[in-house]
């Protein structure tokens, strides 16, 4: 069996790592394709090394661009790879443009596609990621879901239950495997107690008024506890435009490698974020998470875990931070099947249920 793995951004790396490892004992041949949708050589090299992922067999070098430009470039260049490699299955991950583009290429070529992390919905079509999720789910052959709500969303959209396989959360496989190796980064002036912040979504950082409101709220919160803020380059540029500067109360740092950031999450008093993956990781780490968005495609982190969606209610954000600092935050639990073995379940299912090209030929004969 030949499985082609497609990644395009750092969150995909955390998801593909355990899946590639889980296929190895089955003798599955794998080809790793990096579309380069988001690419920073320094950070990408760190992630590949820390996650024990082999360097990509194929790099498409897509680069930045509008959603249409990125999607079109991936489709054009990825089609050539698929035709050359003739895989038995293509695995796509998450909800970025590369995910939908690769799935669409395979659907037209009738090459089986597995969508890992299927079924998630924010029900907000203003999010480009929501469009990618819906498209990818409806044209993929196998839908590997992380939680019960994913199954329910797919069934409600009319997808046959035979295509839906709940395996758990492969990104949590990576977290559990690497947590013992997580090491705090060296940050000058880092206090023993701190709030960790990450922001990257355009709805938060590309809107000057919204960004100003968030930064004002963070400044007020920093009166109670130090804030550590690893800043995405694009976010840093927007903050500079707003005249925001680092201080002893708000430490702006460079983006971290996976192991360093995992340690920062683990030891934080609370995390303020707009990242879906961090909502999941904080739930497993049992760290209070406050999501600065009006919705989440990961409701299980709210229903079961430690996440609270505060939206643009910055008074509530302040209130919930106070609860976290005083130990009065809501209790959370780890969702079912988030046990570090999701990738093993995926690999076992694929080996048992996906025919190789040679097997398909024998069946036809």
Interhelix angle for 342-353 vs 10-23, to 10°? 60
Q: Is 349 left (phi over 0), alpha (psi -120 to 50) or beta?
A: alpha
Grouping H, G, I as helix, E, B as strand and the rest as coil, residue 273 is: strand
Query: How many angstroms separate the CA atoms of 14 and 146, rounded?
Result: 14
Grouping H, G, I as helix, E, B as strand and the rest as coil, residue 33 is: strand
Query: How many angstroms separate the CA atoms of 154 and 360, rounded?
Result: 28
Query: How many angstroms separate the CA atoms of 320 and 291, rounded?
Result: 11
CB 169 within 8 A of CB 337: yes
Catalytic: which of 200, 232, 267, 333? Answer: 200
Place of tokens 């498209």: 135
Active site residue 200: yes
Query: How many angstroms separate the CA atoms of 163 and 251, rounded?
Result: 46
- Sheet with 226-230: strands ordered across: 250-253, 226-230, 194-197, 270-273, 289-291, 307-309
Number of neighbours of residue 124 by Cβ within 10 angstroms? 14
Cα angle vertex 82, ends 108, 21, to 5°? Answer: 115
Q: Which of 11, 16, 68, 73 is nearest to 38 (CA)?
A: 11
Catalytic residues: 200
């Amino acid at each position: 069996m030949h499985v082609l793995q497609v990644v395009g951004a750092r969150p995909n790396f955390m998801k593909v790592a355990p899946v590639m490892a889980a296929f190895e004992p089955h003798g599955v041949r794998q080809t790793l394709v990096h579309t380069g949708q988001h690419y920073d050589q320094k950070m990408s090299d760190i992630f590949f090394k820390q996650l024990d992922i082999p360097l990509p067999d194929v790099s498409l070098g897509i680069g930045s661009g509008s959603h249409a430009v990125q999607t079109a470039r991936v489709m054009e260049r990825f089609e050539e790879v698929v035709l050359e490699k003739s895989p038995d299955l293509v695995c796509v991950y998450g909800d970025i443009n590369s995910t939908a583009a690769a799935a669409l290429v395979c659907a037209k070529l009738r090459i089986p596609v597995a969508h890992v992390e299927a079924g998630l919905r924010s029900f907000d079509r203003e999010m480009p990621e929501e469009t990618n999720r819906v498209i990818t789910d409806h044209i993929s052959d196998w839908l590997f879901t992380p939680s019960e709500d994913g199954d329910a969303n797919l069934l409600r959209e009319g997808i046959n239950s035979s295509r839906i396989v709940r395996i758990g959360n492969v990104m949590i496989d990576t977290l559990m495997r690497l947590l013992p190796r997580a090491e705090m980064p060296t940050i000058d002036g880092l206090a023993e107690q701190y709030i960790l912040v990450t922001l990257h979504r355009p709805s938060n950082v590309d809107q000057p008024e919204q960004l100003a409101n968030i930064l004002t709220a963070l400044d007020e919160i920093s009166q109670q506890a130090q804030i550590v803020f690893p800043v995405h380059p694009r976010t840093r540029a927007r903050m500079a435009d707003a005249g925001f500067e680092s201080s002893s109360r708000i430490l702006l740092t460079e983006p971290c490698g996976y192991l360093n950031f995992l340690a920062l999450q683990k030891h934080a008093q609370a995390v303020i974020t707009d990242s879906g993956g961090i909502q999941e990781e904080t739930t497993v780490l049992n760290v209070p998470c406050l999501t600065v968005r009006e919705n989440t495609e990961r409701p299980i982190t709210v229903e079961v875990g430690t996440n609270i969606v505060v939206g643009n209610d910055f008074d509530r954000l302040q209130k919930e931070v106070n609860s976290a600092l005083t130990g009065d935050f809501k209790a959370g639990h780890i969702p079912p099947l988030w046990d570090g073995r999701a990738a093993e379940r995926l690999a076992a299912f694929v080996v048992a249920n996906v025919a190789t090209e040679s097997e398909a030929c024998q069946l036809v004969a």
